[in-house]
Amino acid sequence: MLKSKIEKALNKQIELEASSSQYYLAMASWTEAQGLTGTSEFLYQHSDEEREHMLKLVKFINERGGISVIPGLSKPPTTFNSLASVFESLLEHELNVTDSINNVVDLCLSEKDYTTHNFMQWYVSEQLEEEALARTILDKLKMIGNDKGGLYMFDRDLSLLANQKPSQ
């Protein structure tokens, strides 16, 4: 049976994963409207992955006899200043998610809930990958600057990345 402190922390994480999914969906839609098809493909996929992260938590809580709370969502932005600002926000958002996951892991240890601790390790590794990927993308965008040819290649690369990544 889940301790209520843990259940609360996991439900908070559900909310964060759901809001990540919604936020990245807004980014995907905006980039699609800018004609950046490959980038939007990548972001649509990323949004779907965040929903999967949320679902995994919902199912875990239910499996452990707790009650999952499906959150209402706040409206994400509809426009972004630039492509770089999209990925800067994405990295910033992922850093917050990592902090939150680390807090859940800490709580699991202090509450001696080793089952949830074990379950959360998947999220710890996933965050490492997601942060690294966001940093690589931002480095590429810095390199490109205002070069239109570079942007074309960047968009194509993100489409390749979206099609390579196994869905989770």
Q: Residue 2 Cβ, how far from ligand FEO at the closest point, in Å?
A: 20
Between 65 and 166, CB nearer to ligand FEO: 166
With a CB cutoff of 8 Å and minimum separation 6, the contacts of 129 are none
Between 50 and 155, CB nearer to ligand FEO: 50
Between 103 and 156, CB nearer to ligand FEO: 103
Residues contributing to the site for ligand FEO (CB under 6 A)? 17, 20, 50, 53, 94, 97, 130
Q: Residue 149 Cβ, how far from ligand FEO at the closest point, in Å?
A: 30
- What single-letter amino acid sits at 72? G
Instruction: Tell which residue, 126, 121, 128, 94, has the closest CA to residue 20.
Output: 94
Instruction: Tell which residue, 70, 65, 73, 72, has the closest CA to residue 7.
Output: 65
With a CB cutoff of 8 Å and minimum separation 6, the contacts of 67 are 7, 61
Residue nearest ligand FEO, Cβ-based = 53
Q: Residue 53 Cβ, how far from ligand FEO at the closest point, in Å?
A: 4
Between 32 and 131, CB nearer to ligand FEO: 131
- 60 and 121 Cβ atoms separated by less than 8 Å: no
CA distance 63 to 95: 28
Between 52 and 106, CB nearer to ligand FEO: 52
Identify the residue whose tokens are 């969502």.
73
Q: Residue 69 Cβ, how far from ligand FEO at the closest point, in Å?
A: 17
